[in-house]
Amino acid sequence: MMKAILLAGLGFAIAAPAGADSLVDNVNGMTITKDGRVTRFTGLVMTPDGRVVKLLGAKDKRPDRLDWRADMKGRVLLPGFIDAHGHVMELGFRALELDLSDAKSLEEAKARIAAYAAANPERRWILGGGWNQEAWRLGRFPTAADLAGLAGDRAIWLSRADGHASWANAAAMKAAGVTAKSVSPPGGRIEMAGGQPSGVFVDAAQDLVQKAVPQPLGKDRNTAFLRAQAQLLSDGITATSDMGTSLDDWLTYRRMGDAGNLRVRIMSYAMGVDTAVRVGGTGPTPWLYDDRLKMGGVKLYADGALGSRGAWLKAPYSDAPGQSGQGFMADDVIRNLMSRAAMDGYQVAVHAIGDRANAQVLGAIEELALTYDGDRRWRIEHAQVVDPADLSRFGKHGIVASMQPTHATSDRTMAEARLGQARLAGAYAWKTMLGNGATLAFGSDYPVEKPNPFAGWAAAFTRQDASGQPFGGWRPEEAVTREQAWWAFTGAGAYAGFAEKKFGTLEPGQRADFIIVDRDPTLAGPSDLRATKVEETWVGGVKVFERK
Amino acid sequence: MMKAILLAGLGFAIAAPAGADSLVDNVNGMTITKDGRVTRFTGLVMTPDGRVVKLLGAKDKRPDRLDWRADMKGRVLLPGFIDAHGHVMELGFRALELDLSDAKSLEEAKARIAAYAAANPERRWILGGGWNQEAWRLGRFPTAADLAGLAGDRAIWLSRADGHASWANAAAMKAAGVTAKSVSPPGGRIEMAGGQPSGVFVDAAQDLVQKAVPQPLGKDRNTAFLRAQAQLLSDGITATSDMGTSLDDWLTYRRMGDAGNLRVRIMSYAMGVDTAVRVGGTGPTPWLYDDRLKMGGVKLYADGALGSRGAWLKAPYSDAPGQSGQGFMADDVIRNLMSRAAMDGYQVAVHAIGDRANAQVLGAIEELALTYDGDRRWRIEHAQVVDPADLSRFGKHGIVASMQPTHATSDRTMAEARLGQARLAGAYAWKTMLGNGATLAFGSDYPVEKPNPFAGWAAAFTRQDASGQPFGGWRPEEAVTREQAWWAFTGAGAYAGFAEKKFGTLEPGQRADFIIVDRDPTLAGPSDLRATKVEETWVGGVKVFERK
């Protein structure tokens, strides 16, 4: 059943297993190394199980014995992209729910909510997300009152673009039992207006309503996964970190793998230590399904996000003087959790947006590195706002700075308001991270941003958004080179997930994960690069996406 | 790590994969069919992936080209046994905990509890089970007072042999917050004495204390599984139903399968519908790990057990006139759960011990069979005490009576006391089940009874216990033949789990699951049969156990 859906959706053919190598020939092929060197080739020889045997130049002799040969007619071939920070199931669920990320104003959002509610009469809860009051220039959070009358007596529950706040109508709050007496939980905040909950719930406070949302059924999860996977493959992403895999997410990935429907490679980071222990028992799982799935790490959260003022800052927000955000855990608590994960051999990945949260996590790493002194690759996710005094600390203990170029272009105006000019010196500091010797891995944080890696790539070396703003780039001193960004979106993403011996480049022995695109990304200007179309995506030597 | 433990524990060698068939030769081989015919052979040819190609007679020519040949020197080869009803993880945990199943008296039990507590000073909870006040001729349940002083201030929590009652000391009740004001939950009973909880908790009331027991760690689960598997393989069991797989059980089986440590075949029945839905999504999992694991069904409970008077009877217990046991669910509730499972394609297996519970489940099946009219193989687990008027209802709708011969011999005296002579006519009615056209599948209900299938086999055609009691057999009119019992412990167990196309016989195409034993079970007398030693166990053509 699922297989039928997948095959129908993607329309690819799987080559029959055979004993001889195969050849993808007549390509304008290129791959990148850590030191920024671009290797060019015209043919790619693969084993029957889809690993790279060698890259051939135009004058190299082709193998005599081949199982099959594909003629790519001179098109451009690149290594598949790796998104170092995404949320696979959320991407899928978002695709099935109401998407407000393109809404330009509160009025437009309201119209779309009403239309979606009318088009989906069987849904008792209108779920969705992507709203951003900053983009609407609303000057305030939206409220439950704004939602009145849009969906009759049904509940409405919509998450902010960054996932760190959600917006409820009166029916949702009623179903969840939220009243004027409800108390903000640690690490969260109920927005209030006139002594009543206003309808917006920040960070941990989202749980107060979220727990009342009906759980998705197994078939919903399967459908959501397949939607997410189709999106990633069509964007040229052949491997991704999944930053916060719940037990039900994991069971979904296993169903897909068991049924032969898992195409994209998933480096899974368990949502918390308990999930990791339940799944892995005594440590990370092995690589499963021909290197398509492994739970190798644990995701923890040190703080919230900037947009909702949940990021934990050393000094108050510039646009909200009384607030500095919240740390989710005390120093000893987060350190103990990180230690528990590391003791069992899990990689540790901690979300840290604000400068105080980053300092907390850096401190914990420095202390734990005394005990766990091997190749640990401690990951700090986002590493978004860092006190300049702390930046050099990223260069030690093998820390991975897992950052998202499109956040900088999306957040620019908001970040300036929240932080003020002085504090921007250590914000979105990609080049400084590299210069300090940190491993820089790039991702999109989908579904917060769209997963399209070409947008991230262009933003990384221009510090401009899709419309070319601002002229000259936003704090252009933190741009990286085109090659550095390419590596951060490919090989570095594999390294950040302890997968560099499996995939990430097109060197011999690696899984043959590659894409065919309609232009040469080393020659294209930024807006041209953003417009790149992925024509085919191959994972492990098998074509899993072809644009029709 | 786990692999090292397993290999060290079992000491077997895995044949290298190769292209040619292999031969297990010079055996006194025999296998059984549903109609009771015994096929004899001297050689068994297998494919490289461990399926039976053909059985050879003494005069049949051996294949010319073989990858390897094993000479069994004339020893007896039988199909591996299948236990249609067991509890894999409980068997393993029981092996790591205090085992009181051999204790002959309360005094002996107390001495062993004290010794175990002294030998395991690091355990904050003394956990174990296997006690049976009937075997102790105590005439009452044991009490918390009986446990006073045996383990200092540590908690003691011990389950009854049938798993339907547990015994706590004062520290355990205190840790769980049980007081004189605690109320028996639906489907359970707190035993009281002098207005205080006496220390014994029946059926659903066990949860009141169980919830306070620390959860086992992942490594504990792995160890428990490997102990259980080693036990099953050494008893000649190559496949088993797992009757009530929790999510953590399932995750453990997957860890074992992923690491290549899963040897025994597990037909998993999820503990309740929610577990099935979380694991399977839209229906049963596929067969995993070369037909070693599948979650194909759901286990439900209609009532408790006879020993603890939790079985649900039409008329009161003969030895407790005011009690008739409890049904766990109302008619419509259990029917709806069965329907929900069947709708998603899961096989339904319902525990029913008392005649009223059996009638309830039969009624539900008869109603649901109108809707779900395919090959459903509705299972009734235990089918232990059936109103004679209901017995013929087992012959319709493809019902499987999943029964345990050793229960009859263990329960005999207790069953007579609980039920009285008149009600025994429909109890443990194996031959009548077969005569009515039900599928009869045998198991042990391990760890309630020991998994050794030879004990069950001998009990099935003698209706006598290990000491030959009673003379002539207990209600011998319900004995089945030696061949019927053999089939019920092999092919019928596979059929009962929808696995008959995978394993259960040694016909061509089946997985080569077989055992080498030290005598011919078709010629051995009952006590001789019980004494059979399993010398080797092979699963899928690979030797996974050898007695040293």
What are the helix (H) ranges across B235-272?
A: 247-258
Using the Cα atoms of residue A71, residue A73, residue A79 and residue A83 in order, give the sign of their dihedral. Answer: negative
Interface test with B, best of A219, A246, A254 (most B CBs within 10 A): A254
pLDDT score of B90: 94
Whose CA is closest to A476, among A462, A457, A466? Answer: A462
Which of A255, A275, A288, A289 best probes binding to B when mutated, by most B CB atoms within 10 angstroms?
A255
Q: Which residues contact B393 (CB under 8 A, 6 or more apart)?
A: B362, B366, B399
Q: Given an 8 Å threshold on Cβ–Cβ distance, is A285 in contact with B255?
A: yes
Min distance A173 CA to chain B CA atoms (Å): 27
Q: What is the pLDDT of residue A217?
A: 86
Q: Which residues are within 8 A (CB) of A94 and not within 5 positions of it... i.e. 6 or more apart? A: A128, A129, A130, A447
Q: Between chains, do B222 and A252 touch, taking CB under 8 Å as contact?
A: no
Name the residue among B1, B254, B281 with its Cβ closest to that of A221.
B281
What value does the mean pLDDT take over residues A377-393? Answer: 98
Residue of A nearest to B248 (CA): A278
Tell me if B232 sits within 8 A of B83, measured CB to CB: yes
User: What CATH number does the domain located at A125-211 have?
Assistant: 3.10.310.70
Neighbours of B467 (CB within 10 A): 8
Inter-chain contact B251–A217, Cβ cutoff 8 Å? Answer: no
pLDDT of A325 above 90:
yes
Q: What is the pLDDT of residue B295?
A: 98
What pLDDT, in 10s, does the model give residues A65-88? 999 999 999 999 999 999 999 999
Nearest-CB residue to A282 (from B1, B247, B277): B1
CATH 3.10.310.70 range(s) for chain B read 125-211
| Among B209, B415, B381, CA closest to B309 | B415
Amino acid at A250: W
Token pair 């409220």 is found at A143
What does pLDDT average to over chain B? 94
Q: How confident is the model at residue B2 (pLDDT cuts 50, 70, 90)?
A: very low
pLDDT average, residue stretch A2-9: 36
Question: Where along chain A do the CATH 3.20.20.140 domains lie?
Answer: 302-480
Backbone angles phi, psi at B200, to 5 degrees: -105, 135
- Vertex B355 angle, CA B353 and B360, to 5°: 90
Per residue in B444-475, pLDDT (tens digit) is 999 989 999 999 999 999 999 999 999 999 99
How far is Cα B98 from Cα A9, in angstroms, rounded to an integer? Answer: 55
How many angstroms from the chain centroid is the CA of residue A281? Answer: 26
- Condensed to tens digits (0 to 9), the pLDDT of residues B482-541 reads 999 999 999 999 999 999 999 999 999 999 999 999 999 999 999 999 999 999 999 999
DSSP codes of every residue in B12-73: --PPPP-SS-EEEEEEEEEEE-TTSPEEEEEEEEE-TTSBEEEEE-TTSPPPSS-SEEEE-T
Give CATH superfamily name and number for A16-79+502-547: Urease, subunit C, domain 1 (2.30.40.10)
Q: Tell me the mean pLDDT in the region A494-521.
A: 98
Distance from CA of B283 to the nearest CA of A (A): 9
Contact by Cβ (8 Å): B425, B435: no
Q: What is the pLDDT of residue A373?
A: 86
Residue A6 has pLDDT above 50, yes or no: no
Residues with Cβ < 8 Å from B349, sequence gap 6 or more? B241, B243, B269, B297, B298, B299, B300, B379, B380, B381, B402
Closest residue in B to A290 (Cα) is B258
Q: How confident is the model at residue A122 (pLDDT cuts 50, 70, 90)?
A: confident
Question: Under 8 Å CB-to-CB from B127, ≥6 apart: which residues?
Answer: B93, B97, B98, B157, B158, B213
Domain with CATH 2.30.40.10 in chain A: 16-79+502-547
So what's the ipTM on this one? 0.85
Residues B189-222: pLDDT tens digits? 999 999 999 999 999 999 999 999 998 989 889 9
Distance (Å) from the alpha carbon of A534 to chain B's nearest alpha carbon:
32
Contact residues, chain B, for A288 at CB < 8 Å: 258
pLDDT score, position A10: 37
Q: Determine the CATH number of domain A302-480.
A: 3.20.20.140
- Cα A185 to Cα A472: distance, rounded to the nearest angstrom: 43
pTM of the model: 0.88
pLDDT of residue B123: 87
Q: Provide residues of A within 8 Å CB-CB of chain B.
A: 1-2, 217-219, 221-222, 247-248, 251-252, 254-255, 258-259, 277-282, 285-286, 288
Contacts of A278 in chain B (CB under 8 A): 218, 247-248, 251
- Is the bond leading into B186 cis (omega within 30 degrees of zero)? no
Which of A252, A280, A282 is opposite residue B281, by nearest beta carbon?
A: A252
pLDDT band of residue A94 (cuts 50, 70, 90) is confident
Instruction: Please choose, from the candidates B247, B241, B433, the residue with its C-alpha nearest in 3D space to the C-alpha of residue B351.
Output: B241
**For residues A168 and A151, is the Cβ–Cβ distance under 8 A?**
no
Contacts of A285 in chain B (CB under 8 A): 255, 258
Taking contacts as CB-CB distances below 8 angstroms, the residues of chain B near A254 are: 254
Q: Is the pLDDT of residue B368 over 50?
A: yes
User: Strand, coil or helix: what is A507?
Assistant: coil
- Are B251 and A278 a contacting pair at CB < 8 A? yes
CA-nearest residue to B293 within chain A is A258
